[in-house]
Amino acid sequence: MSPVRQLKTLQKTDFDRLLSWLDPDSERAGELYEKIRWRLIAILASRGCRVPEDLADETIDRVARRVSDIEATYAGDKSLYFLGVMNNVHHEYLKRPRLSEVVPPTVDSEVKEQTFLCLDRCIEKLTPHAREIIEQYYAADKRAKINLRKRIAAAVGISNSNLRLRALRIRAKLQTCIEQCLNGAEARP
């Protein structure tokens, strides 16, 4: 079995249902979502997790897919449900092979060069608005990244969670474009 797992794409309807389950007021729901997400990240980071944001997002995705099954019967603090799911996600993470145990693939400089050329071509194909969002979204690290993403969301006039979804969609388009570009490049003599 490959250590690389297939990520399921969260459907917009599932995400919208999650937000309405958190609170009928969309603004309050967005705030609760962000508060829960950052709490999950903090807990996972305190446990020494190398990818706390990824595991927090995976937790949220799983909860969002389950909301339709639990929303009618769940009573109590909804953040506790997230914590229970996070514990399961974290246990699965601990069972995965460590990056240091996995032999990294050897990537020669020509492959890297071709990948960067394909990335440049694919970014040029994006609309100016999408290009600006994706370039800014990944422009900073750590706390600066959080503040930058809040500023981007405010400038665009959307919530942080909607910005995250837009960035994920743009990133998926770029990934597909890069793969097609590389496959086309490999087919050339």
The pLDDT score that the predictor gives to residue 99 is 53
The two most distant CA atoms of the chain are separated, in Å, by 63
- Specify the pTM: 0.50
Contacts of 188 by beta carbon, 8 Å cutoff, 6+ apart:
none
Task: Please compute the mean of the pLDDT values over residues 155-159 and round it to a whole number.
Answer: 87
Q: Which of 17-26, 91-100, 123-132 has the lowest mean pLDDT?
A: 91-100
Phi, psi of 24 (to 5 degrees): -65, -30
Residue in 188, 184, 177, 179 with CA at minimum distance from that of residue 121: 177
Domain 109-187 part of CATH 3.40.50: no
pLDDT tens digits, 117-148: 898 899 999 998 888 888 888 777 777 778 88
The pLDDT score that the predictor gives to residue 188 is 44
The band of 96, judged by pLDDT with boundaries at 50, 70 and 90, is confident
Residue in 132, 125, 40 with CA at minimum distance from that of residue 88: 40
Mean pLDDT of the chain: 82
Task: Compute the residue count for the chain.
Answer: 189
The secondary structure of 95-129 as a DSSP string is HSPPTTTSPPPP--HHHHHHHHHHHHHHHHHS-HH
Domain boundaries defined on the chain:
12-95, 109-187
The pLDDT score that the predictor gives to residue 59 is 93
Token duo for residue 52 = 């706390």
Task: Please compute the mean of the pLDDT values over residues 11-22 and round it to a whole number.
Answer: 87
CA distance 43 to 33: 15
Q: Which of 114-128, 135-149, 153-167, 169-183 has the lowest mean pLDDT?
A: 135-149
